[in-house]
Amino acid sequence: MAYADVSEYDAFGPWVDVVTGPQDVPRLYRPHPIDFEHTELVLKIPRDIERRNATPSMHLYDGLVILDSASLTLLSRDGDTFTTRSVRLDGVFALVDSVHLLDGRLELYTALGPPLVVRYNAASHDRITALVTRMRMLILGPSSSIGAPAPSSSPVDLGRVELPHAKRDYGLFGAWAALQAAVPGLELSAAHPSLPLRPFDAGVVGLLYRLRPTMGSAMILGVSPDEVHLIHRRAWLQRRSGDDLSMAQTVVFRRSGASVEVAEHPIYEAVDAVRISQGDGVLELALPRASRAAEVLAAALAR
């Protein structure tokens, strides 16, 4: 079948593109109504295929992300049709944006159950960063602390907090510096380096874990008047030698009403298993107890 309009094929590449009007919408998603006069940002997510394997007859975009002032909608390709999922911004209590090489993943957590997940090519991480920044501003509203003066001191008195200094954790420094530039009011409140973890079990299970050691992700935690930010690796617990290639940012909204539960980790000594939840939505973290990061997080969300 020949296609008279090959503009979608001609423009196709691995990058996430901004959609500015109906002419830019991939044909698969054109049945979905979009009011461009009232959208904040629309992005199209390309399929993970090489350019040489694409043809004009293919649906070349795996997703369309539509952000307006009240909600984010994700249209996801499913063969020759698509599924639709929307979340209200006032129901988002946390988000996680992570990259591992070219594998990008944005997760939005709400009270309605499993997170909404947007997968993307990390070569276009700047587009997703712009999306996240705009979402945060809409969620926080006129009281947004983005660009505000520095907040008062951390809700937990930790004394002087030192950033991780191991060579394998240097990548977190750059991410933290960029975050501080984007959120001038952010205060360093807790941090810890990558750490080898010791299992409770001294028997066969413990032996298996010692043969394949587990590392806990390095982490830098900052608190602003409206948010808690965590810079870390994608996986909190990493088998073997750990993960030096991924980068993740978790944002928890302090006024969302989310609750925090802190318990002893069931497998590893001196590790807090942290559950941030609202309704049926749950975000789980694993934080070394020595940094008191779980305590800081719980105190920040208790207001």
CATH code of the domain in which 131 resides: 2.30.29
> Which range of residues forms the domain containing residue 274?
146-301
Same domain, 99 and 224: no
Same domain, 123 and 227: no
Per-residue CA distances from 258 to 133, 164, 178, 185, 301 (Å): 21, 28, 27, 22, 7
Same domain, 213 and 124: no
State residue 254's pLDDT score. 96
Same domain, 189 and 85: no
**pLDDT tens-place values along the chain, 303 residues long:** 455 568 888 888 889 999 999 999 999 999 999 999 999 999 999 999 888 888 888 999 999 999 999 999 999 999 999 999 999 999 999 999 999 999 999 999 999 999 999 999 999 999 999 999 999 999 999 866 564 544 444 444 444 577 776 778 888 988 999 999 889 789 999 999 998 898 887 777 777 777 778 889 999 999 999 999 999 999 999 886 667 889 999 999 999 999 999 999 999 999 999 999 999 999 999 999 999 999 999 999 996
Same domain, 84 and 185: no
Same domain, 285 and 151: yes
Same domain, 172 and 294: yes
The two structure tokens encoding residue 167: 């060579």
State residue 152's pLDDT score. 45
State residue 157's pLDDT score. 47
State residue 154's pLDDT score. 45
Q: Is 247 a domain residue?
A: yes
Per-residue CA distances from 22 to 40, 42, 131, 148, 279 (Å): 15, 11, 19, 37, 37
Same domain, 219 and 72: no
How many domains are contained in the chain?
Answer: 2
Burial (0-12, 13-18, 19+ Cβ within 10 Å), 222 = buried
The two structure tokens encoding residue 295: 């305590």
Same domain, 151 and 89: no
Q: Of 137, 156, 180, which closes a domain?
A: 137
Q: Of 84, 117, 137, which closes a domain?
A: 137
